[in-house]
Amino acid sequence: MKKRFVSMALVLTLLSSLLVACGANESKGSEDNKGKEAGSASENYDPNSKLDVTWLNILHTASPPTDTMVKKIEEYTNSKITFNWVPDASKEERITTALASGDLADIVTLTMLTNSSVRNSLKSGMFWEVSDYLDDYENLKLIPQAAREAASIEGKLYGVPFLNNLARGGLIFRQDWLENLGIAEPTTLDEVYEIARAFTEDDPDGNGKDDTIGFGDRSDLRYGSFKTLSSYFGTPNGWAVDENGKFTPEFDTQEYMDTLNYSRKLYENGYLAQDFAVTAKSDQEQQFAQGKAGIFTGIIGITGLRTLAEGLNMDFKLLPVNKISNGDGEYHIWSEGSGVNGLMAFPKTVVKTEAQLKRILKFVNDICDEEVSMYMTRGIEGVHYEYDAEGVTHIINKDLYTAEVTPFSSSRPMPTLFPLKSENPEKELTTKLINENDAFAVFDPTVPLDSATNNEQGTELAKIITDATFKYIMGQSDEAEFKKAVETWKKSGGSAIITEYEEAYKLTKK
């Protein structure tokens, strides 16, 4: 069976067709009005009322923010906000436990939309369906229809989408190490491999010690090195779909096997961190910042790495790279959720009436305003940042900024609404590269589709492939054993997932 990936041209055509603005919604007030509870429509909604809101949110920094910016946001939005911060490293366990127990907040940040527990909770009716409400708000109505579709399940949108760039993948290299060794910026996987070797064997920091490696990594196939390297090999993003609508999981392709062999070779020769399978993201970042590794996956994190390295590496120079091919000159990079990075969802057990929902949506709309966006990205002018003559913002006190502002950077639903010039040339270059990625981003065709089996068993089934992938990379199994694991995945429910995605895909073509 001839397979192909979803072509970029086709995807962009489909997306552009979805960007038609929503017109007047005639379904409001009808019997089947989506997301509206019977008897609630008559309740009064006062958009100017003081809001007491709780928010179960994801924390991407070591410590929660101080109250400084919280008070500014509360003042602007006429609210009292109580945050319950969940560390990013433990979000899967904490969020799934909260969903199971019902211990939720007015707003719940859900970033794992492919997680079976999250998906089941959304489909179960636990959260408000908000499609009919977004266009009533000045900022929320700007959410593209394509993003709404990508964040929906069976055509229903159970929260406000966190918008993101289509693809933020890439590699960060220690540029000072490249310069020390006289190596040019890489453009192919073979050149990346040679850099990993040189960073491990050729004393790139010049200290005369055998104390560096090429790739630092972590126990995460998606956000560690594997997914990005897999993209460069041309592996489909999650799934491939051919011209007949037949679906193939990414790990059942030759490109995935090519990535396995590449990563295994890196590991066998010591060019990939030997403890990657048990390493957390924070430890990987520290390893890179402390000068122990020279290649980091994920160009979006360049500012954080720079901050971690301050005072540790006086000659710390970074080079973000987004265009790496397998040798044929073609570029691919996986797209995370088709530009959607999760949902701000509103559980019906906490937000009990339509009036409450509307007031909370007004709050979400307000934090998308430019003033709050600045609070959450730069802080307070004259305290955390200042403008120069060219309109570039400069951080005044980095310690204060890190403590009071940085933790909010991932909490904005629409971070690209008010783009800012950065004082950091590395950050500006990274933004440029991320925008370039749009041209060769590879989409997951199952993002807007649904599979009952995947909702019920997907997380557990994924562990079969994750374990098999780790074992292969570390030389603990061979190709036959890996393929046996793929067959186990299929027999344990994977084949049903394939069939269900194919059936759901057919429905979109009618």
Task: In whole angstroms, give the CA distance from residue 192 to residue 250.
Answer: 23
CA-CA distance, 472 to 262, in Å (whole number)?
A: 11
Collapsing DSSP to helix, strand or coil, 423 comes out as coil
What DSSP designation does 332 have?
A: -
Q: Is 196 helix (H, G, I), strand (E, B) or coil?
A: helix
User: Residue 495: its pLDDT value, please?
Assistant: 98
Q: Model's pTM, two decimal places?
A: 0.71
In this predicted structure, what is the pLDDT of residue 314?
67
Amino acid sitting at position 328: D
**Three-class SS of residue 387?**
strand
Q: In this structure, what DSSP letter does residue 37 have? A: P
State which amino acid sits at residue 318: L
Please tell me the distance from the alpha carbon of residue 287 to that of residue 302, in angstroms, as a whole number.
Answer: 14
The predicted-structure confidence for 353-364, as pLDDT tens digits, reads as follows 999 999 999 999
Task: Tell which residue, 213, 191, 192, 186, has the closest CA to residue 201.
Answer: 213
Residue 507 confidence class, pLDDT cut points 50, 70, 90: confident
Categorize the per-residue pLDDT at 47 as very low, low, confident or very high, splitting at 50, 70 and 90. confident
Q: Are strands 293-297 and 171-174 parallel, antiparallel or unpaired?
A: antiparallel
Q: Which of 123-137, 354-368, 396-410 is least confident?
A: 396-410
Angle at Cα 355 formed by Cα 349 and Cα 361, nearest 5°?
Answer: 85
Q: Between residues 83 and 510, which one has the greater pLDDT?
A: 83
The whole-angstrom separation of Cα 88 and Cα 74 is: 24
**Per-residue pLDDT for 27 more than 90?**
no
Q: What are phi and psi of 147, to 5 degrees?
A: -70, -40
Percentage of residues of the chain with pLDDT beyond 70? 91
Mean of the pLDDT values across residues 156-167?
92
The closest of 423, 425, 429, 412 to 374, measured between CA atoms, is: 412
173 forms beta bridges with: 295, 319
**Three-class SS of 61-108:** CCCCCCHHHHHHHHHHHCEEEEEEEEEHHHHHHHHHHHHHHCCCCCEE
Neighbours of 371 (CB within 10 A): 14
pLDDT (0 to 100) of residue 59 = 93
For residue 153, which of 111, 121, 123 has the smallest C-alpha distance? 123
C-alpha–C-alpha distance, residues 444 and 459, integer Å: 17
Token pair in block for residue 379: 């802080």
Question: Does the 171-334 domain belong in CATH 3.40.190.10?
Answer: yes
220-244 confidence digits (pLDDT tens) = 999 999 999 999 999 999 999 999 9
Looking at residues 334-348, what average pLDDT do you find?
Answer: 91
Going from N- to C-terminal start, the domains of the chain cover: 48-166+339-417, 171-334, 452-508
Question: Residue 272's CB: how many other CB atoms inside 10 A?
Answer: 27
Q: Which tokens is 87 given?
A: 């560390």
Q: Does the 48-166+339-417 domain belong in CATH 3.10.450.50?
A: no
Three-state DSSP state, 248:
strand
Please determine whether the domains at 48-166+339-417 and 171-334 fall in the same fold group of CATH: yes
Q: Which residue has the higher pLDDT, 364 or 116?
A: 364
Residue 510, exposed/middle/buried by CB under 10 A (0-12, 13-18, 19+)?
A: exposed
The residue type found at 250 is E
pLDDT at 11: 39
Q: Across-strand partners of 58?
A: 86
Q: How far apart are CA 200 and CA 215, in angstroms?
A: 9
The Cα-based distances of 45 to 30, 213, 279, 282, 357 in angstroms read 19, 59, 49, 44, 9
Distance CA(294)–CA(290), nearest Å, equals 10
- In Å, what is the CA distance from 253 to each residue of 117, 139, 188, 329, 474? 27, 42, 21, 21, 20
pLDDT band at 416 (very low <50, low <70, confident <90, very high): low
**pLDDT at res. 2:** 39
Opening angle at CA 88, ends 333 and 53, nearest 5: 115
Ranges 18-27, 233-242, 399-408: which has the least confidence = 18-27
β-bridge pairing 51-59 and 318-321: unpaired
Average pLDDT rounded to a whole number, residues 201-217: 96
Which DSSP category does 136 fall into?
Answer: G
Residue 376 in contact with residue 73, Cβ under 8 Å?
A: yes
Q: What SS3 state is found at 227?
A: helix
Compute the residue count for the chain.
510
Q: What is the mean pLDDT of the chain?
A: 88
pLDDT the model gives residue 316: 87
The CA distance from 301 to 309, in Å, is 13
